[in-house]
Amino acid sequence: MTSTSFWQATAGCPSAPAPRVNDVDCLIVGGGIAGASAAYALAQAKPDWKLAVVDRRRIAGGATGRNAGFLLAGTADHYAVAVARYGRETARAVFATTVASHHHIRTFLAHRPDVECDYIPCGSLTLAGTQEEAEVLAHSAELLREDGFDVDFVPHDPLRRGFCAAIRNRHDAGVHPVKLVHALLAASGAAIVENWPVATLESTPAGVVVQGERGQLRARRVLLTPNGEAANLHAYFADKVFPKRGQIFVTAPYPSRLLSEVVYANDGYEYFRQLPDGRFLFGGGRRAFAATETGTDETPTADVQNFLERFRDRHFPELIDLPITHRWAGTMGFTPDGLPLLGTLPGQPEIAFSIACHGHGMGFSLEVGRLAAELVITGKPPALFDVARLERNPASRPAAHV
Ligand SMILES: Cc1cc2nc3c(=O)[nH]c(=O)nc-3n(C[C@H](O)[C@H](O)[C@H](O)COP(=O)(O)OP(=O)(O)OC[C@H]3O[C@@H](n4cnc5c(N)ncnc54)[C@H](O)[C@@H]3O)c2cc1C
């Protein structure tokens, strides 16, 4: 089962007739932000390559079309938690990846003033729901500043809505994720093939034969970006990528602006923003429903949606009577250690993958896309996200949240 998000309903990008695609230099399986970012980076690095992107449904039909559109630096863990989990150097490198990604997005948009993707450089607030979390935020801000990242700790709730403290990151932003993906794909020049589910991949002397129920495609190289559905596409991912769900609702426009920033709260388990037209978006609820918020079903559930409505009522009582116009669910790919996976399939160096940016694929987007393009070209995964780490340390702690 599925649902339609506000972004998918408002992208205004009609389906184009499928072009004839065969014998491309690189075929990207998955038309979300990971596939679009890699296509864009490949087009920059290899302008003479023929590229194609194939998706089993419409472009941005997966998590990319179903997220909150936050461009946040960092990952789900507060920085102090990430430092304790990965070590200072790795935590810093991961954070720097997201900062670089956002820089690439700003550059991309600066060179294309015609692109409309509702990019708003509004900054973010990360709010602590408890005093204990406030202490973690204070420590995180200190570590971030020591590591050269520009954030501020606010020792009270800047919104005055029942939280304890905040980190303000002036460099974060909000975006319309589906419009951004279409803009990246258009800039890449890749041929787009929608509604084309890939079933099998076979390496042959003449290239990779990609088989689907709608026919066969052939490519010199393939990049897989199927995110939470990775294990359905290839058994290699069965013990590496786990589908977890997230849910959101969006209201009708509120007549005045109550909120500028994109806001992440309660260890990142809840998040909200006010969209350019005044609508409110609330998402999260996974911590309370961790046992059921798994799998690839994209149907929103009453339990989680009611939880989100109670969260809204507690912190924004003036919105209680505002109609809810869109409700949806989406699937994220999680890995055992909470970091994305890049690599090639065993014995098939011509089939690369870039998967599982957890709840931060928009934040990771263009820099991870650049790394994925490098992987396709050189066959070498970036050390930071190399899948080989799971073989070295299979008992990595399971990832907990978005
Ligand atoms: C509710 C929710 C809120 C979120 N909020 C944010 C946020 O605000 N900011 C942020 O940075 N991140 C957020 N995320 C996470 C973010 O959406 C993901 O990390 C990101 O979209 C992943 O992009 P992707 O391209 O890897 O995957 P997807 O967008 O899921 O794309 C994978 C694509 O592969 C296709 N596919 C799969 N199997 C096949 C096959 N066999 N053949 C052909 N095609 C196939 C799918 O149809 C899909 O389109 C959120 C996620 C959710 C669910």
Q: What is the ipTM of this complex?
A: 0.99
**Does the CB atom of residue 37 touch ligand 1 within 6 A?**
no
Atom 5 (ligand 1) nearest CA: 67
Q: How far apart are CA 192 and CA 31, in angstroms?
A: 8
Q: Domain span at residue 265? A: 121-171+242-334
Distance 160 CA to ligand 1 centre (A): 33
Q: How far apart are CA 126 and CA 211, in angstroms?
A: 44
The answer for residues whose C-beta is within 8 angstroms of residue 279's C-beta and 6 or more apart is: 6, 250, 251, 252, 253, 254, 325
Q: What angle do CA 249, 251, 252 make, to 5 degrees?
A: 155
**Does the CB atom of residue 261 touch ligand 1 within 6 A?**
no
Q: Which atom of ligand 1 is nearest to the CA of 364?
A: 11
Question: Residue 300, CB half-sphere, CA atoms under 13 Å: how many?
Answer: 21
If one counts the domains in the chain, the total is: 1
CA dihedral 252, 257, 259, 262 (to 10 degrees): 60
Q: Which of 54, 64, 364 to mutate to test the pocket of ligand 1 (most atoms within 8 A of CB)?
A: 64
Distance 207 CA to ligand 1 centre (A): 27
Give the 3-state secondary structure of residue 169: strand
Q: How far apart are CA 76 and CA 354, in angstroms?
A: 19
Atom 10 (ligand 1) nearest CA: 360
Buried b (16+ CB within 10 A) or exposed e, 141-176: bebbeebebebebbeebbbebebbbbbbbebbbbbb
82 in any annotated domain: no
Atom 51 (ligand 1) nearest CA: 67
Q: Are 389 and 127 in contact (CB under 8 A)?
A: no
Q: How far apart are CA 372 and CA 43, in angstroms?
A: 12
155 in any annotated domain: yes
Which CATH number characterizes residue 304's domain?
Answer: 3.30.9.10
52 in any annotated domain: no
* Tens-digit pLDDT profile for residues 214-237: 899 999 999 999 999 999 999 999
> Which parts of the chain have pLDDT scores under 50?
397-402
Label the pairing between strands 215-224 and 207-212.
antiparallel
Q: Which atom of ligand 1 is nearest to the CA of 271?
A: 8
Tokens of 118: 């509702």
Q: Are 37 and 365 in contact (CB under 8 A)?
A: yes
Q: Are 190 and 54 in contact (CB under 8 A)?
A: no
Residue 30's closest CA among 64, 6, 66, 2?
A: 64
372 in any annotated domain: no
47 φ, ψ to 5°?
Answer: -60, -20
**Does the CB atom of residue 195 touch ligand 1 within 6 A?**
no
Q: How far apart are CA 356 and CA 350, in angstroms?
A: 20
317 in any annotated domain: yes
11 in any annotated domain: no
Atom 15 (ligand 1) nearest CA: 359
67 in any annotated domain: no
* Tens-digit pLDDT profile for residues 182-192: 999 999 999 99
Q: Check residue 10 and give its pLDDT.
A: 96
Distance 228 CA to ligand 1 centre (A): 7
Atom 31 (ligand 1) nearest CA: 32
142 in any annotated domain: yes
Distance 333 CA to ligand 1 centre (A): 8
